[in-house]
Each structure stands twice: as structure tokens, then as C-alpha cells.
Structure 1
């Protein structure tokens, strides 16, 4: 018999699919959705809205929060002059006093009052409530004094403070008298 030409069989190719790219895309999608999920969580802040307090002698005064014992006001004037008082000026918790910068001056007062306020807040069940410091620089106050008082806020670990550029007439009289 003659040699018959053999049938040429076609090679069977492996029908495997390379999933490397699919795995990479899957991991990227998982990371993307985890990141988006974390960033889309609502962030909540405690908000202390001012309430109005009216007195017959004085106009309406805005007090921050509900407890005026948390308020410390720092008045800055020229020649490194600082006057501080707690509470409201027409009903202060202690008499306004003149202090200086440094360890034995404003820093000591801020640390003592901050600790007292935090202890009181913890006792009434509001441990996050610390002091609220209102910084009022006068027009004569230099920029260095303002930066120094902001440094004192960081040292005393006071988180809630505001810089208010306006003086009440009573505070102006207080600065002039001290």
C-alpha cells in the first residue's frame, strides 16, 4: 500500500484565560470603594450656638454656650499689657486683673482656669467641654502680642478660642483704668 498522506491534525490550543488583569482591576475597584465609603461618612462637630442674655443695665450680650463659667476674656493692649477676666464683664466670676506674658503670667492663669473648667465639665457629665477664650486685641496692640497669646493657647491646650476685634465701651473703660 501506498503511503497515504496522513491527515494533519490541528493543534488544540489551551483555552485558558489570563485573569491577571481582571484581578488587578478588582483590587483597584475594592480599594476605590473602600476609600469612597470612608470619605463619604458624615463628620459631626459639636456646635455651641450663642444665646442672648439681656440685663436692664446693659444691652443684650451674646454668650457662647450655656455656661458662662467657661468664658475667659483676654484683652490685649499696647506695651505688652494683658487684662483678663472670667465670665461676663457685667457679672464677672472674679475681678479683672492685669497680667504679663510668660510662665507665671497668662500661661499660669490659662492652665489653672482650663483645669478648673474641665474638672467642672467632667463633673456635670460633659467631659469634652473646655474653656472658651475670647481674645480682644486693641488697635494699639502689636502683632507680636497676638502671636504670643495664640502660642499660649497652644501651650495651654485650649481648643476653642476666638479673636474679636471689637471692644465694648465697658472694656475700653477697663483698659483705660488699669
Structure 2
């Protein structure tokens, strides 16, 4: 049992002998119980930080589509990011056969992918009459999940509204990654 005892100070004063007075006793058991009840209450009712997740629009599963159907995208609007190994990316504008900007190797830094995305975001509306940029992210078999997440984060930072993750990588893009030396096991 927890209790608080107070001393009455029975020291010697003068020469008189006085009787010792007992101080009041305060029982702290109820206060300790209340403290633990409050701690338990606040621990159970407090919400923890909720994880922040990025919204990704996925196609509807109920809609029948042909898996081999290609989506036609204006070459002037499309920027393709091919994710390779060693935290490197090959990017190009247009089609791989006749690119508007030829393929170049960049990294995930703000001087790499972010600079390219911001530059292309500013250039594309001028060339296409106000239409915005479309970014196609194509991870290779050698890319790691962290690279895909970093690319999606850069889409959010650069405020790119239209982007997609493609699960098909063309043989020409694989050959380009091998040529640049970023298709390593």
C-alpha cells in the first residue's frame, strides 16, 4: 500500500517536553490506480501516425481488354524511363526507333531524373499545344523495387499528373541497357 507520512517535527524546543503528534496519513493507492487507468486509456485511444500511401490508379479488373493491345501515345508527349541496374535509368523522348531526345543515362538524384522530368514538363506543353507530359516507367528485370518507388516519388515531386508503370520492356530497350552497361545481375 502506498502512503505518504508526514513528520510532526518532534525536535526539542526550549526545555519543555511535548508529546509527539502524529501527522496525517494520505493513502496514495487510489491515485496510483487512477494514474495507470489514465495511461492505459490514452494508450488505447490515441491513434498512431498513419502510413502515407501514394494513390496509384489501377485498371478495373472487370473490364475485358486484350493484353496485347498497345496504347497509342503522342511521341512528343511521352517520356520513357527504363530502369536498369546499379541505380541507373535510361530515358528518351518519343519512340525508341526514332527518339526526339536520344537515350541518355541518368541517376535518381535531383540533378538526374528530377531535372529531366522538370525540363520535359516545361517543354512538352510548348510543343503539343498545351497538352501535358506522359511518363512511361519500364522497370527491367535487373531493377529493384526501391528504384520503382524512387521513380514514383519523383513523379510526385515533379508534379507529373500522367504516368504509368509498364510491365513490358521491349528488346530494343534491353539491348540499350546492355550497351550502357546497366543490365547487370
TM superposition score category, shorter chain reference: 0.5 to 0.7
**Whole-angstrom distance in 2 between the partners of 1:95 and 1:119:** 19
Could you say which residue in structure 2 is the equivalent of 1:83? 90
| Counterpart residue number, 1:173 | 175
User: Cα deviations across residues 116-137 of structure 1 (Å, max 9, x unaligned)?
Assistant: 012333xx3xx3x211101001
Give 1:157's match in structure 2, choosing from 146, 156, 159: 159
Q: CA deviation at 1:62?
A: 4.0
Aligned match of 1:137? 139
**Structure 2 match to 1:107:** 114
Secondary structure, counterpart of 1:133 in structure 2: strand
How many Å separate the matches in 2 of 1:177 and 1:136? 17
Q: Where does structure 1 lack aligned partners over 5 or more consecutive residues?
A: 1-60
C-alpha separation in 1, matches of 2:84 and 2:117: 18
Structure 1-normalised TM-score?
Answer: 0.59
1:63, 1:97 → 2: CA distance? 24
How far 1:63 sits from its partner (Å)? 5.3
Cα distance per residue 1:62-96 (max 9 Å; x no partner):
4533x310010000012101000000000100210
Look up the SS of the partner of 1:93 in the other structure.
Answer: strand
Normalization by structure 2: what TM-score? 0.57
Deviation beyond 3 Å, 4+ runs, structure 1: 61-65
Structure 2: gaps (5+ residues): 1-68, 181-185
- Equivalent pairs, count: 113
Is 2:79 aligned against 1:72? yes
1:117 aligned to 2:114? no
1: distance between equivalents of 2:126 and 2:159? Answer: 15
